[in-house]
A and B are shown apart, each in its own frame.
Chain A
Amino acid sequence: MIAIEHLVKYFNRRGVNEVIALSGIDLTIERGEFITVIGSNGAGKSTLLNCLAGTFRHDEGRIVINGKDISPWPEYRRARFIGRVFQNPLTGTCASLTIEQNMALAFRRGARRGLSFGVKAAYRREFMERLAMLGLGLEHRLKNAVGLLSGGQRQALTMLMASLVQPELLLLDEHTAALDPKTARKILDLTRCIVSEEHLTTLMVTHNMKQALAFGSRLLMLHNGRVILDVKEDEKRSLTKDDLLSRFYDMQGEEVESDRMLLT
């Protein structure tokens, strides 16, 4: 179980450009929950994920995973619990290393790294089996540099790598936004498949309301650094796009007109 208690995050605190990106988020995430997160630009979605991963330090509040307050932990230490897929398909993998080298790095996520060979012969069979799941033929390209792959292929690989060592929490920040629609659908199918098979606790940020409704067991809407909607299970299943939109109008009034959420 993950408890987020009154999380507050400022940027440029006490400066002229002070922004409060998270203004007191309270959230309890049960093991195995698949949560979709929506909200307008600047709502604080990425900031929330970055604070959980430790990329940013929050200013107030606590993050408790399995009873442990991990607030003071640096990003690399939290990585033991957290798998991530980024919006930019280039961020999750190393271009100059091969597919198998990238996977071997992910295979030791959170573990000590020593002087034994990075890519062990015993790993290869498992890597090939996993890669075959993608249906992209990558299982025959273990020794290709990842820089040779397309954005979609790299994102698929990142998705696989994030779940190679089972994470307590999987963070997906608009991980299909930079892909063409067909590839995006493939990555989403893969996401659904991996998350349900491994029962991963997941936070998935998306700008697509249909996706947010179709995926997961719980839906959060963020606005101005606050959770303004939190629906689960049956209630979520009965939710429609119109419900979301009207909720949105309620909160924002006219300012929503120019928002790109309306377009999707």
Chain B
Amino acid sequence: MISMRFPPWAIGAMILGLAGFAVMVAANVRQNRGVKRSLFAYPYSLWMVVFTIIPLLLIAYYAFTDRSGQFTLENFRTFWDSNHEMNKQLAELGFDPAALGGARGTVNVDTLVYSLWMAFLCTVICLFLGYPAALFMADRQFRLGATLVILFIIPMWMNFLLRTIAWMSLLEDNGLINSILTALGLPRMQLMYNSQAVLLGMVYNYLPFMVFPVYNALSKQDYRLSEAAMDLGASPILTFWRVTMPLSLPGVISGITMVFMPSVTTFFIPRVLGGGNTEMFGDLIERTFLSADNWNVGSALSLIMMVLILMSLTLLRKVDPEGEGGSTI
């Protein structure tokens, strides 16, 4: 498959990175004598280095080299040059810009725009479904709140692939819903293989990531604050808009982040529920790596995705300067 021979400069960079980390640790120990506390952080830091920093460096390495290990910017050209050989390969794999609502540029750009749009829709829907759910769950008077929390947690114990496939058996042409429709003498409906089905799958999978941060923010809120608002003459609705909601914003921003990020990089769901008609950027990266066996272009696409996510996070952090939302990642 891919050659694991790295040029000397890449190996040098990695050694430098590890050495830098070691120095950092040493300096840390010396600086704050609280050795005990920082000791606990080391396994975690080591974990970060092995499973985050090194993979990131590897991705960067692949993105800026060609198959023979030479430095190149060629991999990024797939992004704007539709004549790039990779784009032709992707088209053969069934990535059709037209299917995504008109060709704007290369298959990559169209897929990315489509993914961002889907992620945006998913986040908005999750917010509008999740916020009221969290509100009920956090309500002191509402005795079913705790039950609701559990109902949201239980499906999360199931594997994400299983959950998605389960939707298939509901939505299929011969699935549960259509069987019921037929039994009632109604015409069957095409429920799968379109972007609505994909959106449904995404919302279903990511909703808890909205509900829990918001629930957390709401249930931590001192109930006396909303009592104080009512005491001062605010109706329950005004109390919500002026006190409860503003104070839950850090949770909302956290929720938006936690839903948006995995949404943009969604893969597999489009293939199962969308039938491969409308695949997303995550699928595209996966196929570039595995089907087209091109780690270099795949890494370049991943880097672009990462930069985009970082940019949107920075933007969110501007909205929430206290940074409670951004700090969850």
Q: Does chain A bind chain B?
A: no
A: residues with CB less than 8 A from B are none
